Copies of this chain bind each other. A is one copy, B any other.
Amino acid sequence: MNIGIVGLGLMGGSLAKALKKYGIAKKVFGFINSEKNKKDVLELNLVDEIVDLNTLKKQSDVIILAIPVDSIISMFPSLLDIDKKTTIIDMGSTKEYIVKNIPEQIRENFIAAHPMTGTEKSGPKAAIDDLYEGKSVVLCNLEENENIHVNKALRIFQGIGMRIVVMNADEHDKHACFMSHLPHAISFSLANTVMSHEDPKSIIALAAGGFKDMSRVAKSSPIMWSNIFKQNRENLLNSIGLFEEHMKKVRKMVEEENYEELEKWMAKANTLHEIL
């Protein structure tokens, strides 16, 4: 099949590489807005052909949207005239708002997917061919899709080595919030705290594995992540509230020198080890 990818940054570019690696697509088309990225995509030879959106729509059996979640919403009007047999897959990190807003005309074609993978990097140069291997992809509300589209999506994601997880869009957004969106908010906060109160010299001298790991995703794209925070606003506010309670708790235990309680609380956190 021919696959057209809209957006060839970290996610789209890595997908293009994986599709080639596993020989899944006969031809991979790419559509890119930014002139700078276009140049990088050509140099990196990420796709067989860079085309305009109309050509991509006509020539592709599957169209994949690998763009920020707000841009996915903005693209809906220009996808209304696609063929009934053409599958559309979005790879956004939020799902409820997208699923709610998919136009009726393309609802059966449109697979709402979230590959649970990424790095802190962005742009075509960040693309790697094993980004998806062994990772989970969440597919939402598949009962609203026609079977031929579900089958194509399954073939693609399994073909690049992903583990399929099925759930409703609202469940997805709750879980993805705790497991990804909240951690990003925390990492941005930690990085900003340290950047405001530490000098670069000390940061370089003293950054060990713990800090590096915890601040890594604070290097992620602001546009992409402010979009996600916007589309998963309520869950995010709720989970930040729950996290803040734990920060208050640890502060109170240290303030009151309640170290016995503190050890128990840490031991509770340790139990994550039994799961991950």
Q: Which residues of A contact B (CB under 8 A)?
A: 116-119, 135-136, 138, 163, 165, 175-176, 178-180, 182-198, 200, 202-220, 222-223, 225-226, 229-230, 233, 236-237, 239-251, 254-255, 257, 259, 262-273, 275-276
Residue on B with the closest CB to A188? B269
Picked from B192, B209, B243, the residue with its CB within 8 Å of the CB of A268 is B192
Picked from B116, B193, B226, B249, the residue with its CB within 8 Å of the CB of A246 is B193
A268 to B180 Cα, complex, angstroms: 20
A195 to B242 Cα, complex, angstroms: 11
A13 to B30 Cα, complex, angstroms: 53
> What B residues does A210 contact at CB under 8 A?
118, 180, 183-184, 187, 216-217
> What B residues does A249 contact at CB under 8 A?
189
> What B residues does A275 contact at CB under 8 A?
200, 203-204
Contact B186 A276 (CB under 8 A): no
CB proximity of A250 to chain B, nearest CB, Å: 5
Picked from B163, B208, B217, B269, the residue with its CB within 8 Å of the CB of A218 is B269
Picked from B136, B247, B257, B272, the residue with its CB within 8 Å of the CB of A206 is B136
Picked from B205, B212, B230, the residue with its CB within 8 Å of the CB of A136 is B205
Contact A213 B211 (CB under 8 A): no
A198 to B272 Cα, complex, angstroms: 11
Contact B243 A189 (CB under 8 A): yes
Contact A117 B208 (CB under 8 A): yes
> What B residues does A229 contact at CB under 8 A?
254, 259, 262
> What B residues does A273 contact at CB under 8 A?
219
Sample of 16 further A-B pairs with CB below 8 A, known A213-B216, A222-B262, A237-B251: A118-B208, A135-B208, A179-B194, A183-B215, A186-B186, A186-B247, A189-B250, A191-B270, A200-B275, A203-B272, A218-B270, A219-B273, A225-B266, A230-B254, A240-B254, A247-B247
